Amino acid sequence: MSPHLLVTGGAGFIGSNFVHHVIAHTDARVTVLDKLTYAGSAANLDGLPEDRVRLVEGDIADAALVEELVAPLTEEGDAIVHYAAESHNDNSLSDPSPFLHTNITGTFTLLEAARRHGTRLHHVSTDEVYGDLELDDPERFTEHTPYNPSSPYSATKAGSDLLVRAWVRSFGVRATLSNCSNNYGPRQHVEKFIPRQITNLIDGVRPRLYGAGLNVRDWIHADDHSSAVLTILERGELGRTYLIGADGEKNNLEVVRLILQLMGHDPDDFEHVDDRPGHDLRYAIDPTTLREELGWAPAHRDFEAGLAATIDWYRENEAWWRGQKAATEAKYRAAGQ
Instruction: Please list the alpha-helical segments (H only) found in 34-151.
Output: 63-70, 89-94, 97-99, 107-117
Active-site residue, selected from the candidate residues 34, 59, 78, 128: 128
Task: Using the rule CB under 6 A, give the single segment among 59-67, 108-116, 228-236, 257-265 that binds ligand NAD.
Answer: 59-67
Nearer to ligand DAU, 31 or 199 (CB): 199
Residues 6+ apart with CB under 8 A from 13: 39, 44, 87, 183, 185, 187, 188, 189, 192, 222
Figure out which of the listed residues 44, 92, 102, 182 binds ligand DAU, where binding follows CB under 6 A.
182
Sketch the per residue contact string, 104 through 143, with ligand DAU: x for CB under 6 A, - otherwise. Answer: ----------------------xxx---------------
The single-letter code of the amino acid at 124 is V
Nearer to ligand DAU, 167 or 270 (CB): 270
Based on the shown chain and the rule CB under 6 A, indicate whether residue 36 belongs to the binding site for ligand NAD: yes
Site for ligand DAU in 193-232 (CB under 6 A): 193, 196, 208-210, 215, 217
Active-site residue, selected from the candidate residues 130, 153, 184, 242: 153
35 binds, among ligand DAU, ligand NAD, none (CB under 5 to 8 A by kind): ligand NAD
* Distance of closest approach, residue 82 Cβ to ligand NAD, in angstroms: 7
DSSP code, position 54: E
* Distance of closest approach, residue 64 Cβ to ligand NAD, in angstroms: 14
Active-site residue, selected from the candidate residues 34, 59, 90, 127: 127
DSSP code, position 141: B
Output the DSSP codes for 174-198: -EEEEEE--EESTT--TTSHHHHHH
Distance CA 277, CA 239 (A): 34
Residues 191 and 254 sit within 8 Å (Cβ to Cβ) = no
Q: Residue 114, SS3? A: helix
What residue ranges in the chain does DSSP mark as E strands?
4-8, 29-34, 53-57, 79-82, 121-126, 175-180, 183-184, 208-210, 216-218, 220-221, 241-244, 249-251, 271-273
Does the annotation mark 127 as catalytic? Answer: yes
130 binds, among ligand DAU, ligand NAD, none (CB under 5 to 8 A by kind): none
Could you list the residues that contact ligand NAD (CB under 6 A)? 8-9, 11-15, 33-37, 39-40, 59-61, 83-87, 102, 106, 124, 126, 157, 180, 182-183, 189
Active site residues: 127-128, 153
Could you list the residues that contact ligand DAU (CB under 6 A)? 87-89, 126-128, 181-182, 192-193, 196, 208-210, 215, 217, 252, 276, 283
